[in-house]
Structure 1
Amino acid sequence: MKEFSGKVAIVTGSSSGIGEAIARRLSGLGASVVINSASSVEAGQNIAKELGDNALYVQADISDKASGEHLLAATLQRFGKLDILVNNAGWTTAIPHHDLEALTDDIFSRTFEVNVKGTWMLTKAAMPYLKQSDDGNVVNITSIAGVRPVGSSIAYSMSKAALNHMTLLLAKSCGPVRVNAVAPGLVATPWTKDWQAQHEGVKAMAPLKRSATPDDCVEATLGLLRTRYATGQIFVVDGGLKLVV
């Protein structure tokens, strides 16, 4: 028996980057895993195919309530239960913090629709099923931008701060389901591959002298899942960057 055999996990936004790494590791440790993306359908399907019979791809935009409900229903239809929800799906666009005019109402609204409202709606819908698990878990992938005044935009940082506080409120209110968050610093993913200046800045400032990797986020997620007396924790994975910025 592998560590997560018999467990069922949804990992939103898992067609690439951090979400993909988490989904692959959970699958390798025995979990049945639902791969999800809003638009990268072929990539998501390919990952599910690689992972085998205990993986399923479901296209869903979590910012749309009906789409999120479809994701949950498809999971329950295929696997019959839910033990782990990893809320990784998110949206941002890079806007300098001083340029208030560039942060339009539409960008602000879209950021919160996906990052906060979408995560809230899916978690709320999933909670009755997570409570039926012997160790129901929610892990929100947030950001150092939720604890320090940094990040790709002011709206993004605000949304991640909201997610961190949502984590605490749900942990307080929804036990015995455990609700925790992983808050990475800058992560080397396909989305940040052209951010050379930012990666060099982190390398120069962070005590651990590098950006995070998706595997760093995987290990933090697994640590929270394995620690059965931990809830309401915001696990910052930033190489010590918040100590100096």
Structure 2
Amino acid sequence: YRVQGSDISSNANVSRLQSLGININLGHRADNIGGASVIVVSSAVSSENSEILAARAAKVPVVQRAEMLAELMRLKWSIAVGGTHGKTTTTSMIAALLDGANLDPTVINGGIINAYGTNARLGDGDWMVVEADESDGSFVRLPAMISVVTNIDAEHLDYYGNFDSLRSAFQTFAERIPFYGFATLCSDHQEVRALIGRVTDRRIVTYGIEPPTEVFGYDLSPTANGVRLAIQMSGRSRGAGRVISGVELSMPGAHNVRNALAA
């Protein structure tokens, strides 16, 4: 496919794409989609958007970002990171670890990764890590081998209607992994801890800074740049029985320790 796009105004991402030779239209207009074979939209775009209306009138398929993302994920061993908070940071940390292991991952994040200067990176390796957006329920389509749930709070109820529907969506997301994959769940968070008890027929690895958990961060102490901690692996986690001492995290706060433990 030849790719083009449109945005309501110019920004750093638009400028970067234009510098790469991609045609980006400023403003949404029906004539922007002329000749398009498919329209991909983010969850922030209204169904009444002029380009979407024109595409549907012309019988051009309109697909959500998550559906296109799912097609890309089928080509790789994929990790999907979901949760109300911490998705972007955790996705960035996983990407950094895969990069550090010379696995050359493909990365699609919700925010800018400082090391890349962008929110996306096309790698030649077999691994892919993506941020899963739960706001419109489409994250349940993502075919991940490993799913991560950082936390679950009562947000996006305008879409879900009630908290139980949101809980059910996260359960579907966590369980949509293949039998050889696993769900990585934060046992410190009350709602995720309840989710652990509901997930069936799929392997789970828990993490947190409150025992009992399988990837356990402890002896946290602040440093000039962030936090120092030790990590104990147990249960079903890879490397069970191992203790990693003197871990230096260059980000402050217990929430970032949890994000790092997930990674």
TM-score scaled by structure 2?
Answer: 0.40
Structure showing the higher strand proportion among its residues: 2
More helix by share: 1
Where relative contact order (Cα < 8 A, 6+ residues apart) is larger, the structure is: 1
